[in-house]
Amino acid sequence: MKAQPIVFEWKALDVLGEGGEVVQTWAMVPVPRYQNVARRQFGDGGEHIMEESAERSRASHSAYFAALHDLFQSIPENIAARWPTETHFRRWLLIETGWFEEKEFDLLSEKHARALGNYIRIEDEYARIAIRGTKVIIRRAKSQSLKAMGAADFKQSKKDVLDLAEQMVGVPRGAAIKNAGHAA
Question: DSSP string of 124-179?
Answer: -TT-EEEEETTEEEEEEEPP-STTTS-HHHHHHHHHHHHHHHHHHHT--TTHHHHT
pLDDT at site 184: 42
Residues 125-167: pLDDT tens digits? 999 999 999 999 999 999 998 778 888 899 999 999 999 999 9
Average pLDDT, the chain: 88
- Determine the average pLDDT of the residues in 55-62: 79
Closest CA to 57 of 140, 166, 177, 175: 177
Closest CA to 64 of 138, 170, 160, 129: 160
Q: Structural domain of residue 108, as residue ranges?
A: 101-141
Same domain for 89 and 164, yes or no, is yes
| Per-residue CA distances from 102 to 28, 48, 98, 99, 136 (Å) | 39, 32, 10, 10, 10
pLDDT at site 172: 85
Domain count across the chain: 3
Same domain for 85 and 146, yes or no, is yes
Same domain for 154 and 82, yes or no, is yes
